Amino acid sequence: MDKRLIWLALGSFTIATEGFVISSLLPDIAADAAISVPLAGTLITAFALAYALGTPILATLTGEWDRRRVILWTLVFFVLGNLAAALSSSFELLLIARIVMALSSGLFAATAQGTAVALVDDHHRARAIAVVVGGTTVAVAVGAPLGALVATVAGWRGTFFAIAGLGALAGAILWYRLPRGIVGTKLPLRQRLAATLRPGVPSILLTTLLALTGAFTVFAFVAPLAIEGGGLSPIALPGMLLAFGVGAVIGNIAGGQAADRFGA
């Protein structure tokens, strides 16, 4: 296996950790900003919308750019977004910082997977993508609980500082390790979106939307549900996120094996 894939996975781990750990920070953010927890939850909604809508547009605009250059710039903006979140003086600034992080995260994810494919031969493409995406899975099981643990010690701002540091480390390693000259293919936005209309795809997307809506509606508000609703201590939040992450890993592995054995 090309060891450069591990560093791409580290980038995925860093970005996904920020995306998942925010749920444990909502009560503290709401308290500091003097707003309600549901309003603080718009930090998650804005991130998700910016990620979903911005990624195909940015991927189209940067399709012919050097992929090393794109990856490094996405990490630069991701780090700056985390620093801005940590230093934000208002909820509005924090919201803008999360949108910046979402746009950079989405473009990183798309570009990292394309770069992984370009680094290996045709027979190992699926495995290369699995390694990079594996960083996200590890973030769910390990990164988010660790980020929540940092918040119990250093506050929610400390978590953003820690993620910014990890993002800078990933960027420095990838700057050193990734080769120049890997150029992607520029696909029109219409062609990218056309894939969603292929036979069978809309129903799969709808099923995925409904399933993840149910899961992440609960996950997004796991902190107030656990603390206010369940009477647990804030120190229990890392354990709650760990339980969710372990379940996600088990489900991911079991789902893949079941699909191979019984069919999708």
CATH number of the domain to which 53 belongs = 1.20.1250.20
- The whole-number pLDDT of residue 72 equals 95
Question: What's the predicted TM-score (pTM) here?
Answer: 0.87
Domain that includes residue 172, residue range? 4-262
Residue 160, pLDDT above cutoff 90: yes
- The whole-number pLDDT of residue 1 equals 63
**Number of structural domains the chain divides into:** 1
223-241 residue pLDDT tens? 888 887 888 888 888 888 8
Question: Which CA distances in Å does 144 have to 15, 106, 157, 166?
Answer: 11, 18, 15, 13
Query: CA geometry: angle at 100 spanning 97 and 104, to 5°?
Result: 140
- The whole-number pLDDT of residue 87 equals 96
Share of the chain above pLDDT 70, in %: 99
What's 122's DSSP letter? G
Average pLDDT, the chain: 89
Q: Decide which of 134 and 83 is more confident.
A: 83
- The whole-number pLDDT of residue 33 equals 92
Share of the chain above pLDDT 90, in %: 47
Q: Decide which of 245 and 160 is more confident.
A: 160
Burial bucket for residue 208 (CB in 10 Å: 0-12, 13-18, 19+): exposed
| Contact (Cβ atoms closer than 8 angstroms) between residue 221 and residue 41 | yes
Burial bucket for residue 151 (CB in 10 Å: 0-12, 13-18, 19+): buried
Separation of alpha carbons 159 and 168, rounded Å? 14
Average pLDDT over residues 42-67: 90
CA 162 to chain centre: 16
- The whole-number pLDDT of residue 73 equals 96
| Contact (Cβ atoms closer than 8 angstroms) between residue 47 and residue 98 | yes
Residue 175, pLDDT above cutoff 70: yes
Under the banding of pLDDT at 50, 70 and 90, the label for residue 156 is very high
Count of Cβ atoms closer than 10 Å to residue 8 Cβ: 28
- What's the distance, Cα to Cα, between the start and end of the chain in Å? 28
Under the banding of pLDDT at 50, 70 and 90, the label for residue 250 is confident
| Contact (Cβ atoms closer than 8 angstroms) between residue 58 and residue 111 | no
Average pLDDT over residues 106-113: 92
Average pLDDT over residues 5-34: 92
Q: Residue 106: CB partners within 8 Å, gap ≥ 6?
A: 50, 51, 52, 54, 55, 58
| Contact (Cβ atoms closer than 8 angstroms) between residue 168 and residue 46 | no
Average pLDDT over residues 99-103: 97
Q: What ranges make up the beta strands (E) of the chain?
A: none
Average pLDDT over residues 188-195: 78
Average pLDDT over residues 128-133: 84
